[in-house]
Amino acid sequence: MGVLAKIFFSILIYLFVEIYVFVEASILIGFFPAAILLISFSIIGYMITKRIKGISFQKAAADYANGESPSKNLVKTAGFFISGVLFLIPGFITDFIAILFLIPFLNYYLMYLIFRYFKNKFNGSYAYQSQNGGGDFNGGSFTFISLPFKKNGK
């Protein structure tokens, strides 16, 4: 099964699960309260992403100017931005995951898991185009933002 087929079936399963959860929530609390709840979460997501956009870079620049590492602030901001984007996507499951990204300790832990996944995925296998436009591809190691906590030097 190809990558596109896996993505397609994952999205299809996600849509069916979100629709099922919405129908169950509509039966439990009513259609209009469930719809208003989804719309209000989308408005919250819009406000979060709009607010985070400007503040994060200002705080990162201030940390850098003070000689501190901006990585902790950027990780926190990335978690809030992911939360805002998840709130924008209509559905109760994505809203629940977005709420998890708003909890401070879970924010760092979930970002740690995401960075660790991508570090393992791209370690030693990225490519870049040369400056002369020749398109020679070289592999190398990939460095991510260091997280504020480390386990045994990993």
pLDDT tens column, 100-120: 888 878 888 888 888 888 777
Domain membership flag for residue 29: no
Residue 31 located in a structural domain: no
Site of tokens 């919250």: 44
Cβ distance 149 to 69 under 8 Å?
no
**Is residue 116 in some structural domain?**
yes
SS3 95: helix
Decide if 134 is inside a domain.
Answer: no
Please tell me whether residue 100 adopts helix, strand or coil conformation: helix
pTM for this entry: 0.66
110 within some domain: yes
**Domain contains 128:** no
Cα distance between residue 142 and residue 151, in whole Å = 19
Judge whether 51 and 89 are in contact, CB under 8 Å. Answer: no
More confident residue, 73 or 32: 32
Answer for the pair 59, 47: CB distance below 8 angstroms, yes or no: no
CA 55 to chain centre: 17
Domain membership of residue 103 (yes or no) is yes
Range from 4-13, 31-40, 64-73, 109-118 carrying the lowest mean pLDDT: 64-73
In a domain, 93, yes or no: yes
* 47: containing domain: 37-122
Say how many domains are in the chain. 1
Task: Pull the structure tokens for residue 59.
Answer: 């705080």
What token pair was written down for 83? 């939360």
| CB distance 102 to 83 below 8 Å | yes
